[in-house]
Chains A and B, each alone.
Chain A
Amino acid sequence: MSTLAVHDHHGVEHHDHDHEHHHNETFISKYIFSMDHKMIAKQFLITGITMAVIAMILSILFRIQLAYPDKSFPFLETLLGKNFAPGGRLDSNFYLSLVTIHGTIMVFFVLTAGLSGTFSNLLIPFQVGARDMASPFMNMLSYWLFFTASVIMLSSFLLQTQPAGPGWTIYPPLSALPKAMPGSGMGMTLWLISMVLFVASSLMGGINYVSTVLNMRTKGMDLWKMPLTIWAFFLTAILGILAFPVLVAGVVLLIFDRSFGTSFYLSDIVVQGQVMNFEGGSPILFQHLFWFLGHPEVYIVIMPAMGLVSEVMAVNSRKPIFGYHAMVYSLIGITVLSFIVWGHHMFVTGMNPFLGGVFMITTLIIAVPSAVKTFNWLATLWRGNIRFTPAMLFSIGFVSFFISGGITGIFLGNATLDINLHDTYFVVAHFHLVMGSAAIFGMLAGVYHWFPKMYGRLMDEKLGYLHFWLTFIGAYLVFFPMHFMGLDGVPRRYYSFTEIESLKQWVSVNTFITWAAIMAALAQVAFLFNFFYSIFKGKHATQNPWGSNTLEWTTPVERIHGNWPGEIPTVYRWPYDYSKPGHDEDFIPQTVPFSQTMSSNLPHDFEDSPVGDQEWVNTSKSNEHVK
């Protein structure tokens, strides 16, 4: 596999080797234990989609409970068994398990592994011009650890006691005391094991992404010529590498507290009348460790989506992304700042209030790079020539969600306002819009846009439109009213709102939200059908269906091992030369040298690369010479 390691100058010979190798592949080495980045990307994607569908069904189950707290649905008892839904009503502990597993799967398994795993794997080698990842074997291992983690997480539904139930943030002591709730027993153990494997998978992926981006770029691809997707994946991977180990540390200490009688997080506890021996620990310590990962985690979720959307938007607006440098610097700013804002999740958890004040300041600073990015996207659309492919629709939806969900962050980041809003539905609305829906839309935009690179076929556009509109409208109908519930003081993770007098007025709104959620969930059938049908029966794609500049569209449609049949192309320009005045087509791929586009070159083209400048000056001179 030497061909996969570096950009070689003997590509043709190696290609022959690859070609032979291709024929020897068995079903297992090609589809299961594959080391090809494209296949691993597809494995991540399909596993991610499966997990997303499961987590979505879980959310519908608990939405039904919230809409009809007093009704029984015998169907649920048949589906879930007498333990989880006695008499057709969800058990209140199982409700919390549903919420927990929904959150865990969506945040980690779908929006971290499903998103980064798919698109970092697919696009990093493609867009930087490499034959594969730095370590294809580790890449394969990363997928299989992720797969194992997914299986373990789901297997907790087979337990007679319930799956993990203390919320996706698993705050001890609730998660540390098996007696405190059924969901803190064996289910919690499986959750912890699954997460340790997941983090290992994530780290392997992340190290691979970083090393590939840093070491395996093709000739001419300097950092300032990388598409924003690559910048986003690169910075996301760095975030993951630095943040995830802290979660493992926290989780391992929790395992010690649960199983070996230590007191890292526990002190002065009497559970169900039994005095426990724990002394001297602090539950706040876990929250610090958790959110030290947890906050970067939300940027791990959103940054790849930002990258994908920036790329899709530039391609389909037929316009360079506005402020490429500003986009990169704001990504870097978000990356750095995301490590010093975690305390805003803990304003009222008993953390020293002085720290709350500090974290409030850092939190509101991070809103600035996010605002810059939003304005840049708007400026990219301005005076564009916008084509509405399904990918573009989802990108526009992304920006809309990012704005709607982002500005509510200004309320929550303000410690004073957070006193009243912490842990209410306002928070639920906020993060489901800004990180849930937005990131999912970024991911879907990516799927629609790069489907041809994965399967050589196109997805159906009309079904894509239907999918987009139902999901877009559905998501707003679901999450917009939740802001108001939160402002009235409706707490999240409540099994029903009928017990407390002042919350009863929101039951009708809950019913409405549930029906909107069911509609949005059913709309995903359009996507699933489109996706799987198009894999086998979709229209064949051309090599560069979207008229795009980046390197992946210079590879053949057949998706061969090693990506390019001959030598890896050299890169001469940045990836956003769309609608450049003076050029006859509205895009100039990165592989076209400036010497071939004399009519459209601008001084701006050479700001980042003195070498290119020299080349241009030289060719200009030699041209003059000829004249």
Chain B
Amino acid sequence: MGFKTLIKNKFLTALFSMLMLSGTELVMAQDANSTNTATGDQSAQQAGMWTSVSYYVLLFVVVCFAVAVVGKILRVYDLTLQMQRKKGINWNNAMAVAFLLFLILGLAGVYYSFSVQGSMILPEAASQHGKTMDTMFWTTFGITVVVFIATQILLFGFVFYYRNSDKRKGYYLPHNNTIEKAWTIAPAIVLTVLVVFGFFSWRKITNTVDAKGETASINIDVTGHQFAWEIRYPGRDGKLGAKNYKLISGTNVLGLDFKDRNGLDDLHADTLVLPVNKSVRLNILAQDVIHSVYMPNFRVQMNAVPGLPTFFKFTPTITTAEMRSRLDQPDFEYHLYCNKICGGSHYNMQKIVKVVTQAEYYDWLAHQKPYLNDQLKKELKMADATEQKGGENKRLALNN
């Protein structure tokens, strides 16, 4: 029992306690040093901090003692009962009752949670596919909540009802293949229904190609970088220009390649404004790390992956103004925020989204500044000039 002797060794114990003491001293000394350099206000704060820390530690120690005392009292009580030849506390029954209480209080808690916190969830779906999703959610919810409550009642019910008793033995029931088959097939059927339902809506939602005869969706570029979103609308031609990440610079933040004429009239916006009841296709891109476009109000989420353009097509159905009046919140806004860990300011990478009427949308669009601003034009001209020069040089070199 080497370990035991090690523990019992007084010298080692003494050494250990010395170490602890000097350790505390060290910490205190550091503390003193830092307070020396700091202002008096800070040192007062530090002192206050240690008082509050020691206060909480003391509180916890007191609680521990209370628990120990209660434990001892219970034990003494138990022993006296036994000395009087009565049965001691039946902990087994106590636990069974505790489980029953847990079941009852737990169900009450679940009810409370569903009614209070449940009323805060799933803001009204403001998109076409969001409605389908919500129907599916509530169907799944209905099924699972029944299973949840039934199985928990069975679990704790059995636990309470079949608590140990000396009078009976457990029922020897090793297996029953009929029951086994039943509860394999039943969940399988329910899950099949959910899968079929889910599979077809998934295909429909992710099918981002505009169907024949359908009016083309509005293409909008949403590009994520640490820690903001850039939004680009197509100009009059309705087409977005090509991009090349190598052209990204302080002025050309999206890296537009102006060899592609489509890009010349593109617009750079600082809010995502969407016309109501019109199909929108978000082209989602990222420049540095993975981000994620998340708009819970529209039930939209898609990651923005560098090097791999993704997209999400949806149709907003409720304008911001209408939602404000419905919710009775005059300052309500839809939000787009990042939902994939992307660095220190991940939690604050947001954009306001506005859903407006068709007329308002065109009006807003007309007021947007083109992406190709004056400074960018100047830079491009200079670049063009140097490129031509370089070209001539090369030709000269070749001639030689």
Contact = CB atoms under 8 A, between A and B. Distances in A.
A423 interface: yes
B326 to A, nearest CB: 15
Given A371-B187, A381-B162, A420 B171 contact: no
B71 interface: yes
Contact of A353 (B64, B98, B147, B203): B203
A463 B52 CA distance: 29
Contacts of A424: 339
Nearest to A184: B343
B148 interface: yes
Contact of A586 (B165, B169, B176, B195): B169
A320 B172 contact: yes
Contact of B169 (A182, A275, A318, A411): A318
Interface string A252-282: 0000000000000011111111010000111
Please give me the 7 A-B residue pairs with the lowest Cβ-Cβ distance, nearest first.
Answer: A489-B296, A267-B307, A353-B206, A579-B170, A319-B170, A383-B171, A388-B95
Contacts of A372: 180, 183-184, 187
Nearest to B141: A411
B155 A399 contact: yes
Given A93-B343, A481-B113, A349 B303 contact: yes
B159 interface: yes
B226 to A, nearest CB: 7
Interface of A: 26-27, 30-31, 74-75, 78, 91-93, 96, 166-167, 171, 173-174, 177, 180-182, 266-273, 275, 280-284, 317-320, 322-326, 348-350, 353, 356-357, 360-361, 364-365, 367-368, 371-372, 374-376, 378-379, 381-388, 393, 396, 399-400, 403-404, 407-408, 410-411, 414-417, 419-420, 422-424, 461-463, 465-466, 469, 472-473, 476, 480-481, 484, 487-489, 491, 493-497, 499-502, 505-506, 509, 522, 525-526, 536, 576, 578-581, 586, 604
Given A269-B307, A385-B168, A174 B191 contact: no
B175 interface: yes
Contacts of B46: 74, 78
Contact of B199 (A173, A275, A357, A378): A357
B226 A272 contact: yes
A281 B168 CA distance: 67
B202 interface: yes
A42 B171 CA distance: 36
Contact of A493 (B106, B297, B300, B341): B341
Interface stretch (B262-270, B271-279, B283-291): B283-291
Contact of A384 (B31, B74, B171, B248): B171
B144 interface: yes
30 contacts: A78-B46, A96-B344, A180-B289, A269-B287, A275-B245, A275-B248, A318-B164, A319-B173, A357-B203, A367-B191, A385-B170, A407-B144, A407-B148, A410-B194, A411-B141, A414-B195, A414-B198, A417-B136, A417-B140, A423-B294, A423-B340, A462-B91, A476-B109, A484-B113, A488-B120, A489-B123, A493-B346, A497-B347, A502-B296, A579-B171
B113 A414 contact: no
A270 B287 contact: yes
Given A419-B301, A462-B71, A488-B123, A383 B199 contact: no
Interface residues of B, number: 124
A271 B341 CA distance: 15
Contact of A411 (B140, B203, B206, B310): B140
Which of A282, A322, A356, A487: most chain B CB closer than 10 A?
A487
Given A78-B31, A604-B174, A476 B106 contact: yes
A360 B162 contact: no
A173 B289 contact: yes
B117 interface: yes
Given A271-B288, A371-B183, A403-B152, A75 B188 contact: no
A321 to B, nearest CB: 8
Interface string B153-165: 0111011001111
B191 A323 contact: no
Interface stretch (B2-10, B14-22, B356-364, B373-381): B2-10
Given A357-B203, A420-B299, 15 more contacts: A96-B344, A180-B288, A268-B307, A283-B308, A322-B174, A350-B302, A364-B191, A368-B184, A393-B95, A407-B148, A422-B301, A484-B120, A491-B337, A500-B348, A579-B171
Most A CB contacts (10 A, CB to CB) among B45, B121, B172, B180 go to B172
A489 B294 contact: yes
Interface string B121-150: 111000000101100110011001001100
Contact of B45 (A74, A93, A320): A74
Nearest to A173: B289
Nearest to B192: A364
Contacts of A536: 4, 7
B300 A367 contact: no
Scoring B7, B174, B343 by chain A CB atoms within 10 A of each residue's CB, the highest score goes to: B174
Given A319-B173, A350-B308, A481-B117, A487 B347 contact: no
Given A74-B49, A385-B170, A269 B344 contact: no
A495 B288 contact: no
A417 B133 contact: yes
B213 interface: no
B40 interface: no
A388 B169 contact: no
A473 B172 CA distance: 32
A388 B64 contact: no
Nearest to A91: B344
B96 interface: yes
Given A181-B343, A419-B133, A499-B350, A270 B248 contact: yes
B191 A410 contact: yes
A578 B346 contact: no
Contacts of A280: 307
Contacts of B75: 462
A470 B72 CA distance: 19
Interface string B306-320: 111010000000000
A404 B345 contact: no
Contacts of A580: 172
Given A78-B49, A283-B306, A174 B164 contact: no
A324 B307 contact: no
Nearest to B184: A372
A505 B344 CA distance: 23
Contact of B344 (A92, A361, A384, A604): A92
A422 B74 CA distance: 49
B100 interface: no
A414 B170 contact: no
B225 interface: yes
